A and B are shown apart, each in its own frame.
Chain A
């Protein structure tokens, strides 16, 4: 077999292993899948009355405003599972076993990342389904839906590679689950929950320029038909940049050799 087909088959083996883990450790899987749904319910039903009143001229239903934001939050929080998974593999010594085997070096991380993307995208589908059931009414065409999912998948890949890097530098699984926390809050400080115009100066500036805002705006544009200006370009650039940085970082951390603990 060529080295490329080894890389593919080893990555597939590692992916199977991670999917098996997801079934064996349902607490993590459950929280990844269900947390975003709970947040969606919470924001729409508990806070929606107050928050929704402050948006636009009242012609926009709050669920239509917030659903893309919550979808994005589920993407942002999806990486935690990958960071924890990578970190606990490192603490358990199985990674050193993998390193002494004639397998594709990249397969360990690839398996984790692809597994993470599958889990996160599953939670995205779940959030979309629940939002639709709650009255979310996007006007997107099939092509726009496809583009929206394409963008989300790209972002998920980018964030999951970053999460894999976090898992490699974390001292233990607990800290691996804490380090990505700021990322999970980033959408709050963008236009996910409320428009940035409603925020005070400094925060507003940050909200307008941080990576999640153009991504959310692109998502809203695709799903709801709102104007999105140059957001798609910025969104794609952020995704590609974060993804490349995350991939190169994780790969070089992993190549650096075993962590002597």
Chain B
């Protein structure tokens, strides 16, 4: 893919705070119109990456370009193209939801009438209209996050950074955010750079996922590719009776049989060729299987495999320390 179709590129980004290395040579290439998720535990360097790409802070080393503009030398052009919704809702607490949106419309230099039109549309689209009267301080966490995102969208950015957009939200608000985020990319060529520590979130939203650990990417690919890269992946066949199970078991070297459930577990990477091979072997031996399922490990297992450490609980505590 050529550089022109890349919304975000980075090569060898580094950043340290004193002795603490936060980014240790980060490379990124994110095509236009895609959702990219940067996945990692607290303290992995996700927010720092967003801060560098959105021109908030300079990198110590390396280069990065957003929407075709160098973040170090052409920050103004980058800022023209992006919208950022940070980890903590950056709304003006003393203004109402509508006033917040109009403030952003003015700062995006929209004509007054166009600003009012977009503000009204976003209030409606994000169900913020009923709360438009009170100041932002009175909004619930989910509502504030939606308002924050609406404030980002009013300027019609081509590249949107969402830094942990659902951290701290209840499951229902999280689903609502997910729907909104998915809708953003459909047919509009908008690129979304998302950071998250929720594996499910990356799986749900992203076209590509990169796993960040201690300032380095330890893996990158589609959620499916990532899952395929790690062991624990297997094809499960179930049979109508013990005879068929036994005949099938004789065909595969590494298969494990479970007599109780009449199933056979065959290790494999879950890709189409592997599946076809299994089915071909069964066909040739004329053994009929009742059901075939592919078991994919979830991203928690991916993280454990890639970094050698569990993702949840323990790591979050480490990050907070």
By a beta-carbon cutoff of 8 Å, the part of chain A in contact with chain B is: 1, 6, 9-10, 13, 16-17, 20-21, 24-25, 92-94, 96-103, 257-258, 260
Contact = CB atoms under 8 A, between A and B. Distances in A.
Interface in B191-213: none
A13 B109 CA distance: 10
Contacts of B267: none
14 contacts: A6-B109, A17-B95, A24-B135, A93-B88, A94-B91, A97-B151, A99-B56, A100-B79, A100-B83, A101-B104, A102-B79, A103-B107, A257-B56, A258-B51
Query: B86, B88, B94, B108 — which one has the most chain A CB atoms within 10 A of its CB?
Result: B94
A94 B95 CA distance: 12
A17 B92 contact: yes
Interface string B31-57: 000000000000000000001001111
B90 A97 contact: yes
Contacts, number: 66
A13 B107 contact: yes
Contact of A100 (B17, B56, B88, B94): B56
Nearest to B48: A260
Interface of B: 17, 51, 54-58, 76, 79-80, 82-84, 86, 88-95, 99, 103-104, 106-109, 135, 151, 155
B57 A100 contact: no
A257 B94 CA distance: 24
Given A1-B109, A257-B57, A258-B51, A97 B84 contact: yes
A10 B90 contact: no
Contacts of B51: 258
B41 to A, nearest CB: 19
A101 B107 contact: yes
Given A94-B91, A96-B56, A258-B56, A101 B108 contact: yes
Given A24-B94, A257-B57, 17 more contacts: A6-B109, A9-B109, A13-B103, A17-B95, A20-B94, A20-B95, A24-B95, A93-B88, A94-B90, A96-B84, A96-B90, A97-B90, A99-B56, A100-B55, A100-B84, A102-B76, A102-B80
B68 to A, nearest CB: 15
Contacts of A21: 94-95
A101 B83 CA distance: 7
Contacts of B151: 97
Nearest to A21: B94
A2 B89 CA distance: 31
A204 to B, nearest CB: 45
Contacts of B79: 100-102
B76 A20 contact: no
Contacts of A103: 107
Contacts of B95: 17, 20-21, 24
A232 B104 CA distance: 44
Query: A10, A93, A97, A260 — which one has the most chain B CB atoms within 10 A of its CB?
Result: A97
Contacts of B135: 24
A25 to B, nearest CB: 6
Contact of B93 (A92, A100, A101): A92
Contacts of A100: 54-56, 79, 82-84
A97 B86 contact: yes
A93 B108 contact: no
A101 B106 CA distance: 11
A57 to B, nearest CB: 52
Nearest to B53: A100
Nearest to A260: B17
A25 B107 contact: no
A98 B56 CA distance: 10
A94 B99 CA distance: 14
Q: Which 8 A-B pairs have the closest CB atoms?
A: A93-B90, A97-B90, A102-B79, A13-B106, A24-B94, A100-B84, A102-B80, A100-B54
B103 A17 contact: yes
Contact of B86 (A13, A24, A96): A96
Query: B51, B58, B86, B90 — which one has the most chain A CB atoms within 10 A of its CB?
Result: B90
Contacts of A99: 55-56
B89 A93 contact: yes
A82 B92 CA distance: 16
